[in-house]
Amino acid sequence: MPLLHLTNARVIDPAAKRDAAGELFIRDGVFVARPSAADLKKAKKIDAAGLVAAPGLVDIHVHFREPGQTHKETIETGSRAAAAGGFTSVVCMPNTAPVADNAGTIQLIKDSAARSSCIHVYPTGCITVGMKGQSLAPIGSLKRAGVIAITDDGDCVQSNELMRRACEYAKMFGLPLMDHCQDHSMTVGAVMNEGQMSVKLGLKGWPNAAEDLIVARNCILSEYTGAHIHMQHLSSRNAVEILRRAKARGVRVTGEACPHHIALTDEALATYDTHFKMNPPLRTEEDRLAIIAGLKDGTIDILATDHAPHTPDEKDREFDLAPNGILGLETALAVSLEILVRKNKFKLATLVDLWTRKPAQLLGLPAGTLAEGAPADLVLFDPEAEWLYDAKKGFSKSANSPWSGQKLRGQVKATYVSGKLVFDGKKIVA
């Protein structure tokens, strides 16, 4: 690979506390120190004037649907959507068909990623066999197979005793547990947030308490066992406060927020549009502001998309019957720029940190930095560029996005993985 010399960019690297105009040098797929004058003369120059250069974005919560649900997404199409959104590393959830509860399925996912992905794809394994919440999956075997965390995402382990044992095994094998926090007994038949809007629309409500109880349970079990438990897609103001208090005691718990939960509320469901139906549901303005406050003070550690593709036929149904979930990878940067940087005065470097260093550090991924010797995973974006997002013309196999047809501000201009250009701002080139 030729030496690459990136010039005139605003370089943001939170891992090095760097935010200044500067240069970057890439050789053989890694970032390197400034080469000799002779080497620079032969380098391929990339003029990044007006652009931000940051570590490739990291998303530790995506659903690529392979194996078994490839009519919705594949590792290939999901990775392309990720690259178009500036993401160079993603972590796939195990609720595939069959679920990823054994070493064979993990190897299948790794093999497919090696063949077809244009970015780094990391697998997770299930906490329980079949994701049924009845018996533990072979956590040691999953670890040896290469999972970086265990989770029953898309579901939630209801048995406190089983979750306790999972914590003990996870700690033994050095694996974080990622939990979808939902008390099933409180959400039977629920399809949206419980509140004024659910009453107005005549839809079964989903109370905050269903999330709060499990977040509290997990904080207790983490403190009891010493395991690291990560709370996925937080949506409730009370859950944020529970997490805040646990962290103040030094409990090994972390949390994530999704762009849709900081940008939207249950008011968006007024027209029964299933593109706003998700799990956990969109909640109230008070909840939305609490999530943003949690990101600002560090209670919530990272951002993640919960990218969840579904086909048009699946979403084009009665609200009660349509599946939960939306696309997130191609719009995540623009939406989070709008809500956090422009409307809530986050520093741009803080936002970059939420998408790079912090998620990489949380799961121990070799990503999230522009340091010499690190893999040359890089995103170039224009934080002010406006563009029209059309999900049907996007890179995902599905098109279930609430932002389709809207003008967004903040556009990815190039994505590099291990020094190789994979997205040029318009098309995948890998």
Say if residue 67 is preceded by a cis peptide, omega within 30 of 0: yes
| DSSP reduced 3-state for 285 | helix
Radius of gyration in angstroms for the set of CA atoms belonging to the chain, rounded to a whole number: 21
| Active-site annotation holds for 306 | yes
Q: At what angle do helices 237-248 and 285-297 cross, to 10 degrees?
A: 20
The label of the residue with tokens 């696309």 reads: 327
Q: Is residue 316 part of a domain?
A: yes
In a domain, 28, yes or no: no
In a domain, 381, yes or no: no
Pairing of strands 44-47, 52-55: unpaired
What's CA 99's distance to the chain center, in Å? Answer: 19
Instruction: Give the model confidence (pLDDT) of 286-314 as tens digits.
Output: 999 999 999 999 999 999 999 999 999 99
Contact 267, 213 (CB under 8 A): no
Residue 244's CB is within 10 A of a number of other CB atoms, namely 17
pLDDT tens profile 202-230:
999 999 999 999 999 999 999 999 999 99
pLDDT category, 353, cuts 50, 70, 90? very high
How is the beta sheet containing 120-123 ordered, strand by strand? 57-62, 87-92, 120-123
The per-residue pLDDT for 268 is: 98
Confidence of residue 146 (pLDDT cuts 50, 70, 90): very high
Distances, alpha carbon 63 to alpha carbons 104, 174, 352, in Å = 19, 23, 22
Give the H or E element holding residue 212.
Answer: helix 209-225
Predicted TM-score of the model (pTM): 0.97
**Is residue 77 in some structural domain?**
yes
Distance CA 82, CA 430 (A): 13
Tell me how far apart the alpha carbons of residues 246 and 396 are, in angstroms, rounded to a whole number: 38
38 within some domain: no
Find out whether 212 and 206 touch, Cβ atoms under 8 Å.
no
Residue 244: φ, ψ to 5°: -60, -45
- Checking 20-24 for CB contacts under 8 A at 24+ apart, the result is 24/53, 24/370, 24/378
Q: Tens of pLDDT along 308-343?
A: 999 999 999 999 999 999 999 999 999 999 999 999
Q: Read off the pLDDT band of 197 (50, 70, 90).
A: very high
Residue 283 reports pLDDT greater than 80: yes
DSSP 85: T
The 8 Å CB, 24+ separation contacts for 222-225 are 222/167, 222/246, 222/251, 222/252, 222/253, 223/249, 223/251, 224/164, 224/167, 225/164, 225/167, 225/168, 225/171
Q: How many domains does the chain have?
A: 1
Q: How far apart are alpha carbons 246 and 252 in whole angstroms?
A: 8
CATH number of the CATH domain containing 116: 3.20.20.140
Q: Is residue 46 part of a domain?
A: no
Peptide bond into 323 cis (omega under 30): no
Instruction: Exactly one of 153, 306, 353, 377 is catalytic; name it.
Output: 306
CA distances from 331 to 20, 37, 83, 352, 405 (A): 25, 40, 12, 15, 12
Domain assignment present for 180: yes
- Please name which of 331, 303, 339, 321 lies closest in space to residue 400, comparing C-alpha atoms: 331
Give dist(CA 112, CA 328) in Å, integer: 22
Residues 272/222, Cβ–Cβ less than 8 Å: no
Given this model, what pLDDT does residue 1 score? Answer: 78
Answer yes or no: is pLDDT of 108 > 80.
yes
In this prediction, residue 281 has a pLDDT band, given cuts at 50, 70 and 90, of very high
Percentage of the chain surpassing pLDDT 70? 100
Give the span between the Cα atoms of 13 and 368, in whole angstroms.
Answer: 8
Retrieve residue 221's tokens: 């079990």
User: What are the phi and psi torsion angles at 10 (to 5°)?
Assistant: -85, 105
pLDDT tier, 198 (very low <50, low <70, confident <90, very high otherwise): very high
Going from the C-alpha of 108 to that of each of 65, 68, 138, the distances in angstroms are: 13, 11, 17
Q: Is the pLDDT of residue 56 over 90?
A: yes
Other C-beta atoms closer than 10 Å to the C-beta of 99 total 23
Residue 256 has pLDDT above 90, yes or no: yes
Average pLDDT over residues 368-377: 98
Domain presence at residue 379: no
What is the phi/psi pair of residue 242, to 5°? -60, -45
Closest among 368, 357, 371, 421 to 32, alpha carbons compared: 371
Overall average pLDDT of the 103-124 stretch: 98
Print the domain residue range for 113.
56-363
